Amino acid sequence: MKKLILIVAVFLFPGLAYAQSEKPWFLDENTTYLWPTNASNYLSATFGETRSRHFHAAIDIGTWGIEGYEVYASRSGYLFRASVSAVGYGNAVYLMHDDGSYTLYAHLMDFAPSIRSIVDSLRFKDYSFEFDEVLIEHEVRFNRGEVIGWSGSTGVGPPHLHVEVRSPTNVVYNPLLVGFSVPDRIPPTFRSLSVEPLAKESSVNNSKEIFTTNATVRNGVFHFGEINTTGPVGLGVNVFDRADGRPNVYAVYELEMSVNGEQYFHSRIDSFSFDHTHQMFLDRVFPILFETRRGFQRLFVRDGNQLPFYTTNDSRGILNLEPGRHTVDIHARDIFGNTSRARAILNVSEPDPIEQKKAFWGDNSNSKPTTDFPDNWIWHQNWVYIPESESPVRIQNEGSFFLQEKHQKEGAATVDLTHAFPLLITTDSHHLRLQRIYPNRKTRLFTEDQRFSVQFQENSVYDTLSVSIGWKANEDSDTLPEFWVLPNIDPIFRPAQIRFMLDEELRATPGLGIYFPLPNRDRWVLASNSRQKEYSLEAEITHFSRFRIKQDTIPPDLSNPQIYQRRDGKWFASVSVTDNLSGVDFKSALFIINDVRGIAEYDPEKDLIIYHHPNFEPKQENTIYFSISDAMGNESRKEITLPHP
């Protein structure tokens, strides 16, 4: 019943007037949480912020760039689970409280001795670095305020403490709802507004591209100016919050949009399920996020978005407005009630009927396939805008003998992609075969020569869209091809499998892998589970991109071996490990000192392999043996002698 009361309270206040947040439904009114560290009382990040592939599920507490502060049990409870990883949470402790709820403490430098002894006893069975197990049967209990570990930077740096609050059903809740608090009298700040054309007849300032504009401030109100639109559009905002005396920027708690005084959209981030956290890509404007890493929060609900944050009008917040001048007001509020307002003016006009007729059907039987993908075309799930060129545009349902119109027309064209498929779009220089991909069905795409294929699983995509695949010989090499799965409109929800059939010469070439480029960086990264089989190269992909086959025959570089004592008195050894291309396979590491094997732990932030053994104490002379491979199996070995530091 408490949960129902909370949801009603969220949506009844007008204009984001402050409403006191209630505790999550599973907590007693008398339940309180202790601030979980002596490091500081400030937040470095808040709940619901944009991360690489998910929402941030916690608050982060700053530790001044230093490791080793005490971390306390915020409430009494049993050790439920512990994990150790090179990425993600790093060293993490899960406590289960008496009401069945949980708190999670992550990125720890080390565990309390009672936890460390259990974790190491299990890891030393096979010397495995990574560990994640439920440990409730060990009946280790911590009282409120007892030390459970020390803050660190494991998993993801820099040093900080990540704290989550989870319900008995493993749903994460904003920790600021349970009594954690910081001084905050600063309202949110609007940076920018985005406007997305959502239909083939839509435009923003006479363009089909996503439009962005920065805010100016007048009389305490953020202004985005006047914007000309046609057809349905969706707005998004890049907005952040701050707390008193802190430089960090945070996510806002609530957003509301009204048009001419009528509420269209409201969102409030109290909680979410881990089943839905990847839908951040639907909540954010993905093309901007992918290219610039700037998080614009949409003020409308995309198809397929199942997040529990929103209440909207019948149009789900999409602005399909009558011609005329419309005032859009946007409010942003932090969890402590500080509110800001922004305004934009939309001048809406009817779509140009002439432009709408430029997409047509024609005879493309004499066209030739291209080796270049048209990167300057503007893609949407249901349409593509082809800029004006000297080449006429012709469209045909593949294999169809019935052509709706057999004529050609030059100029820009907006092509409806919802026709029967496969669909061919042809200009004098481009020949694209597009196939419709649906969230609820498996689909396999092949190039015409059957050499390259992509297998989409059920629910691989968030929304129905059209996909083109192809390949060509790499201009930099006669033997290593490149290929594409495009356009890059949304990420892929569940990994798709790509396969490239190798010719006879490539089958005998060692060290081949499938790589993709990082946006705006001159760096290629090995695709997940890239593997070379007898006749093919295969990999899993989580986004649409260009891909390239590259060869890696160079083993990792080992340098700077050292023995050192941590600030808590424990001894460790480390070796710097870097790799030129495919990346370090930390699971292959072997680390032996004075004939005693330890656990080889990997710190990807510092490019270190660290020797961990609870009984390690260096001698006057120490013989160190170390070996490691990269992802292609190229191995490096080193044996040295180091004196006592």
* Nearest C-alpha neighbor of 232 from the set 192, 201, 186: 201
CA dihedral 34, 39, 44, 46 (to 10 degrees): -10
- Give yes or no for residue 401 having a pLDDT over 60: no
Determine, yes or no, domain membership for 9.
Answer: no
End residue of a domain, out of 530, 551, 572: 551
Residue 223 makes CB contacts below 8 A (sequence gap 6+) with: 215, 216, 217, 342, 343, 344
Average pLDDT along the chain: 89
Q: What is the domain-level CATH number for residue 80?
A: 2.70.70.10
Position 500 pLDDT exceeds 60: yes
Q: In the chain, what percentage of residues exceed pLDDT 70? A: 88
Is 4 inside a domain boundary?
no
Do 142 and 222 have their domain in common? no
CATH number at residue 390: 2.60.220.30
The pLDDT, as a whole number, for residue 389 is: 65
Which of 499, 529, 551 represents a domain boundary (last residue)? 551
Q: Are 338 and 421 in the same domain?
A: no
pLDDT tens digits, residue range 113-163? Answer: 999 999 999 999 999 999 999 999 999 999 999 999 999 999 988 999 999
Specify whether 161 is located in the same domain as 198: no
Q: 472 with 589, same domain?
A: no
Residue 332: the pLDDT is 98
Domain membership of residue 244 as a residue range: 189-349
Q: Which helix (H) or strand (E) holds 499?
A: strand 491-501
Query: Is residue 183, in this structure, part of any structural domain at all?
Result: no
216 within a domain of the structure (yes/no): yes
Q: Give a yes or no: residue 301 inside a domain.
A: yes
Same domain, 127 and 67: yes
CATH of the domain at 590: 2.60.40.1220
Q: Which of 58-67, 175-184, 583-592 has the lowest mean pLDDT?
A: 175-184
Letter for the amino acid at 355?
A: E
Count: domains in the chain? 4
Query: In this structure, is residue 25 part of a structural domain?
Result: no
DSSP-derived pairing of the beta strands 233-240 and 221-230: unpaired
- 381/457 same-domain check: yes
The domain boundary, picked from 326, 349, 372, lies at 349
d(CA 310, CA 592) in angstroms, rounded, equals 55
pLDDT of residue 355: 56
When mean pLDDT is compared across 111-125, 237-251, 454-468, 475-489, the lowest value belongs to 475-489
Shared domain for 631 and 541, answered yes or no, is no
Percent of the chain with pLDDT over 90: 71
The Cβ-side half-sphere exposure at 569, using a 13 Å CA radius, reads: 1
In angstroms, the CA 125 to CA 147 distance is: 27
Which pLDDT score is estimated for 398? Answer: 67
Mark whether 634 and 525 lie in a shared domain: no
Distance CA 136, CA 552 (A): 44
* Judgement on whether residues 37 and 109 belong to the same structural domain of the protein: yes
For residue 633, the model assigns a pLDDT of 96
Residue 569 lies in a domain: yes
Report residue 160 as tokens. Answer: 């900080």
Same domain membership, residue 636 and residue 518: no
Q: Please name the residue ranges forming H helices in 102-199.
A: 113-123
What's residue 411's pLDDT?
Answer: 59
Pairing of strands 262-268, 310-312: antiparallel
- Tell me, yes or no, whether 64 and 112 share the same domain: yes
Mean per-residue pLDDT, 226-231: 98
The verdict on 482 and 381 lying in the same domain is: yes
Q: Which of 25-34, 141-150, 563-572, 605-614 has the lowest mean pLDDT?
A: 25-34
Q: What is the per-residue pLDDT for 23?
A: 82
Instruction: For the sheet with 383-386, list strands across it.
Output: 378-379, 383-386, 413-416
On whether residue 416 sits in a domain, the answer given is: yes
- Predicted local distance difference test score (pLDDT) of residue 525: 94
In this prediction, residues 91-109 reach a mean pLDDT of 97
Tell me the pTM. Answer: 0.90
pLDDT interval class at 479 (50, 70, 90): low
Q: What's the CATH code of the domain at 303?
A: 2.70.50
